[in-house]
Amino acid sequence: MATLRTDPEQSRRAPKLRSVVVGTGSSLPARVVTNAALAERVDTSDEWIVQRTGIRQRHIADESETTSVLGTQAARAALQDAGLTADDIDLVICATSTPDHTFPSTATQIQAGLGIHQGAAFDLQAVCAGFVFAVSTADKFLTTGAARRALVVGAETFSRIVDWEDRTTCVLFGDGAGAIVLEAQEAQEAAEGRGVLSTSLRSDGRHREKLYVDGGPGSTGTTGRLRMEGRDVFRFAVGQVTDVIVEAFEQAGTTAEDLDWFVPHQANRRIIEASADKLGIARDKIVLTVDRHGNTSAASIPLALDVARRDGRIQAGDLVMIEAIGGGFSWGAALIRW
Ligand code: UT7
């Protein structure tokens, strides 16, 4: 049975490796809930939601569509897209804040669902920044030779933790899952070579009260409900998050002008466009799915990547920036040569 371990001697001798995206997949619950349908439930309107957020609809999971079910479907689609089978994967990382159970991890359920019996699987929790943190983590395993192929999944059912009486939050979120397969390949030259070129992660726990869930197994013994100071999160997102993007560009020796696609966390159209403007990223390079998916937290970036790759926008060789901020706060960016 294969295990994950790092052999320092082997690492020194090994060729320089990069983590290359070889497949993408996604899964959305069947049920679509429009803004008009939400307006029947809370005091809101399609006009307010579209104007303030850009969201027009979201997918909401039924009881059978749990985070691990959606995550397994997305991961299976990514495997198929890559032309690989369960035997080829030796690392599964699932970014989620809405696991089916407190434990075991959703990643192990996805692993079992796909029939993967080797390597390791674990969850990673960095809320909306979870997928970027998971890509960065998988990249460390792959580029040190500790794993060969990783399934990196973002899967969420935020509809289970929003307060459906609170119009300031319940209109924002949706459910879904996305996944990519990363493969360790011998590095080609500099920024022209395929793979994850750079990642930059940050956290600052002093902002806990701005965006959190008011329960948990170690405090209330309940799941809790999502609470957010929307205006403060908005300000922080536009004001701060660009530091990790600038750093990711600098590390890779590239600039916003070199970028083909900007695939940010899909929380709010206004945040996305303000961030792009600040960074000098042309608006026609933005991949926007918040209108269809709402904010699916850790799932939003891999969902958007899968949409843009399958509709032909993202092509091999393109330079793609992913970026997110979420509760904590935690935020990060990763620059990928597709
Ligand atoms: O993924 C994690 C990160 N999360 C985010 O990125 C979310 C960040 N924040 C935001 O996207 C925005 O702050 C919101 C979309 C949540 C809110 O937009 P805003 O422009 O900051 O609105 P606001 O909170 O300043 O509220 C403006 C008004 C208020 O009424 P008053 O006090 O001016 O009379 C709210 O009570 O809009 C009211 N309001 C609503 N009205 C209709 C708040 N929610 C709603 C609603 N429908 N759903």
CA 130/CA 325 separation, integer angstroms? 9
User: What's the chain's average pLDDT?
Assistant: 95
Residue 335 alpha carbon to ligand 1 centre in Å: 31
Active site residue 295: yes
- Model pLDDT, residue 15: 73
CA 172/CA 156 separation, integer angstroms? 14
**237: helix, coil or strand?**
helix
Active site residue 265: yes
In a domain, 4, yes or no: no
- Model pLDDT, residue 191: 73
- Model pLDDT, residue 240: 84
- Model pLDDT, residue 6: 56
CB 231 less than 6 A from any atom of ligand 1: yes
Q: Are residues 238 and 281 in the same domain?
A: yes
Q: Are residues 294 and 314 in the same domain?
A: yes
Give percent of the chain above pLDDT 90. 93
Which of 59, 207, 265, 293 is the catalytic position? Answer: 265
Residue 52 alpha carbon to ligand 1 centre in Å: 7
In a domain, 109, yes or no: yes
Boundary residue ending a domain (164, 186, 208):
186
Q: Are residues 29 and 136 in the same domain?
A: yes
Q: Which residue's C-alpha comes closest to atom 43 of ligand 1?
A: 168
In a domain, 157, yes or no: yes
- Model pLDDT, residue 4: 60
Q: Are strands 226-228 and 211-213 parallel, antiparallel or unpaired?
A: antiparallel
| pLDDT for residue 91 is more than 60 | yes
pLDDT tens string 147-203:
999 999 999 999 999 999 999 999 999 999 999 999 999 987 777 899 999 999 999
Give percent of the chain above pLDDT 70. 96
In a domain, 137, yes or no: yes
CB 300 less than 6 A from any atom of ligand 1: no
Boundary residue ending a domain (151, 186, 221):
186
CA 325/CA 245 separation, integer angstroms? 11
| pLDDT for residue 8 is more than 70 | no
Residue 337 near residue 197 (C-beta atoms within 8 A)? yes
Q: Are residues 182 and 204 in the same domain?
A: no
Q: How confident is the model over 320-330, as a mean pLDDT?
A: 97
**Angle made by CA atoms 294, 299, 300, in degrees to the nearest 5:** 45
CA 223/CA 302 separation, integer angstroms? 25
| pLDDT for residue 132 is more than 70 | yes
- The CATH number of residue 29's host domain is 3.40.47.10
Q: Which of 221-230, 235-244, 320-329 has the lowest mean pLDDT?
A: 235-244
Omega before 329 within 30 of 0, i.e. cis:
yes
The residue with greater pLDDT, 252 or 5, is 252
Amino acid at 128: C
- Selection from 121, 90, 116 nearest residue 106 by Cα: 121
Q: How confident is the model over 101-118, as a mean pLDDT?
A: 98
| pLDDT for residue 10 is more than 70 | no
Q: Are residues 277 and 130 in the same domain?
A: no
In a domain, 160, yes or no: yes
CA 15/CA 80 separation, integer angstroms? 28
CA 175/CA 160 separation, integer angstroms? 9
| pLDDT for residue 1 is more than 90 | no
- Model pLDDT, residue 11: 54
Q: Are residues 160 and 207 in the same domain?
A: no
Residue 27 alpha carbon to ligand 1 centre in Å: 28
Residue 174 structure tokens: 């949706």
Active site residue 94: no
- Model pLDDT, residue 7: 59
- Model pLDDT, residue 12: 58
- Model pLDDT, residue 9: 65
In a domain, 136, yes or no: yes
Q: Ligand 1 test: best mutation among 170, 234, 265, most atoms within 8 Å of CB?
A: 234
Query: Which atom belonging to ligand 1 lies closest to the Cα atom of 171?
Result: 48
In a domain, 5, yes or no: no
Q: Are residues 169 and 203 in the same domain?
A: no
Q: Are strands 319-326 and 261-264 parallel, antiparallel or unpaired?
A: parallel
| pLDDT for residue 2 is more than 90 | no
- Model pLDDT, residue 192: 82
Q: Are residues 223 and 330 in the same domain?
A: yes
Q: Are residues 134 and 47 in the same domain?
A: yes
**180: helix, coil or strand?**
strand
CB 267 less than 6 A from any atom of ligand 1: yes
* Count of structural domains, the chain: 2
Q: Which of 67-81, 135-149, 184-198 has the lowest mean pLDDT?
A: 184-198
Q: Are residues 182 and 257 in the same domain?
A: no
CB 128 less than 6 A from any atom of ligand 1: yes
Q: Are residues 181 and 307 in the same domain?
A: no
Q: Are residues 182 and 200 in the same domain?
A: no
Alpha helices in 14-129 (DSSP H): 35-39, 46-53, 67-82, 106-114
Q: How confident is the model over 117-138, as a mean pLDDT?
A: 98
pTM, 2 dp: 0.96
CB 230 less than 6 A from any atom of ligand 1: yes
CB 53 less than 6 A from any atom of ligand 1: yes
In a domain, 6, yes or no: no
Which domain does 302 fall in, by range?
A: 196-337
